[in-house]
Amino acid sequence: MVDLRANPYFLTEEDCQWVKDTIAGMSDEEKVGQLFFQLTQSRDEAYLKELMEKYHLGGCRYNPAPGAAIQEQNRMLQKYAKVPVFIACNTEAGGDGACADGTAIGSGVKIGATGKTEYAFALGKMANEEASAIGCNMAFAPVCDIHYNWENTEIVTRSFGNDPERVAQMSAAYLKGAHTIPGFACAAKHFPGNGQDFRDAHIANNVNYFDVDEWDKTYGLVYRTLIENGLDAIMGGHIMLPEYAKAINPKLQDEDMMPATLSPEIMTGLLRDRLGFNGMVVTDASHMVAMTDRMKRCEMLPASINAGCDMFLFFNDPEEDFHTMLKAYQDGTISEERMEEALSRILGLKAHLGLHKKAKEELVPGPEVLAQALGKEEYKRTAKEISNDCITLVKYKDKDVLPVTPDRYKRIMIVHVKGSGGPMGELMKLMGMQGNNPAALLKEKLCEKGFEAFIYESPLDKMKQQLAEGKKPDLNIYFAGKNAIADFVKDMDLVITLCDVPNGRPAFGMSKGGGEIPWYVFEVPVVVVGCGQPTMLADIPQARTYINTYDAKESTIDALVADLMEGPEAFRGSDPIDSFCGLFDTRL
């Protein structure tokens, strides 16, 4: 059973009694409701009232909106909750993960590149100060995955890197920063560890292939460090860990292998029994294919609780999922003992945060707190410092290319390479959330420094323009777009290939003889910059000078331009992953 006096709860006898009394006074429906985190679909008061009064939710996540709107939503959630509700946010990289006007501090890989744990601490503190000001009390962070496989795009920018020691230290620093905020919890993710499989658990299975000894030395090190530092909760990932599962249960067959969130061997045998984790466990989102493809949904919901998860992340259909879990409890599929254990952890964590001692109107700060907390100059300074310290000169074969100054390279062509995007990219386009245009921003910054910078127009861009003007596109632009090398390079002194690929792989357009792919690295000086995923050398191995900036925020582009103009000694970042992607030709 759960020891509520021990790490991470440290409850008094009075607090423990509140947990017991609250559970004893609950109806079956109220008990089952506590097992669910829901992603709210609206900030309408009637909708939020129904969620809390009909489904008795234990926790909520929400869609992005300005801080004032989220704060008011959170006020309503607590108003209609019989038991105070967890309100979680994804502050992995800053307060912008809590609300649209929160401060972007820096992604995990960006902070990893600085090598400074004080930045991870600042991220945990600053991001969650903003989150707390809008009424959140839990972060689904830190991301403590280890990026071993360059083809894994799910966590490449979110992880602190590929070194277990660094990931452990920075994850613990984030946790300590968040714990400076009274009444705030962290759920580290994604147990038992993402970063090996090239597949994304949102759309396919995901497997961690390490055996017992290797897992214990790597991912195990990370989680033991966090547990020792008072980790409140863990988010279970839909990740299989077959070697460890078979070590715990030798009778387990391959065809019976489950992701961690459905595996008692991993969630109970490993996490609880071997690692001794006493805190709360919540599943990752239940719509992800790595969970939904293993069994019927009506079996999956109670199976996750029976495996050792305490909370289930997101309804599919509220009515259907709620009554599925209620039936499983009432018919004994979920035992009374297992229900009480889950509820003890859920309510124990709420008591640890002091939620039970506050009046409803005190659970969410007032508007004046929000006004003081969001966008502090201190946060912006820290974000800028991280940008200055993270930029990494990964590959430097042409030793005389840098520095880039107007007297050496007056005319700079910027080639904007975009990513394939995928479904989320298309959705962001539809919602008008594409973000800034880093090529245009880089051009502006270079021109301010005295360069004559211009953005390359590809043959495909020209044909799109013809279509937009109602003209028939000239296919010869694409198929016969070659010209003499001397003509191609005559208008430029240097090329910056800016790889703006936040996820997926680069999309070059396959133009023949054009400038999108830097085939011309021996014809004109070329600097390739990854301002999204730091793995662009896999697709542009011919790059002679390759730099990672990890994002394209204005402070980052400012720092990039300054470093380019100063020279190779200006780059302070160190590669937090293998940006050469383990490939032979990327180092040539």
Active site residues: 284
Contact yes or no for 112/161 (Cβ under 8 A): yes
- The burial class, CB within 10 Å (0-12 / 13-18 / 19+), for 319 is exposed
Neighbours of 539 (CB within 10 A): 18
Tokens 């962290």 found at: 186
Calculate ∠ Cα 109-112-113, nearest 5°: 90
Q: How far apart are CA 75 and CA 135, in angstroms?
A: 7
The token duo for 368 is 């004046």
DSSP 478-514: HHT----HHHHHTT-SEEEEEEE-SSS-EE-TT-SSS
Contact 393, 547 (CB under 8 A): yes
**Residue 252: helix, strand or coil by DSSP?**
coil
What is the distance between the alpha carbons of residues 143 and 134, in angstroms, rounded to a whole number?
A: 22
The SS3 assignment for 276 reads coil
- The CA distance from 277 to 254, in Å, is 27
Amino acid at 472: K
Residue 329 Ramachandran class (φ > 0 left, ψ -120 to 50 alpha, else beta): alpha
- Reference 504, options 425, 575, 576, 428; nearest CA is 425
Pairwise CA distance, residues 502 & 420, whole Å: 9
Residues 6+ apart with CB under 8 A from 444: none
**CA neighbor of 88 nearest in space, from 258, 277, 313:** 313
461: part of which helix (H) or strand (E)?
helix 459-468
Q: Tell me whether residue 499 is exposed, middle or buried, using C-beta atoms within 10 angstroms of its C-beta: 0 to 12, 13 to 18, 19 or more.
A: buried
Q: Walk across the sheet containing 280-283 and list its strands.
A: 280-283, 233-236, 185-191, 138-139, 86-89, 59-61, 36-39, 312-313
Sorted by sequence, the CB contacts under 8 Å of residue 20 that are 6+ apart come out as none
Residues 6+ apart with CB under 8 A from 296: none
| Helical ranges in 56-155 per DSSP H | 67-79, 108-114, 117-133
Q: How far apart are the first and last CA of the chain?
A: 58
Query: Which conformational region is residue 339 in: left (phi greater than 0), alpha (psi within -120 to 50 degrees), or beta?
Result: alpha
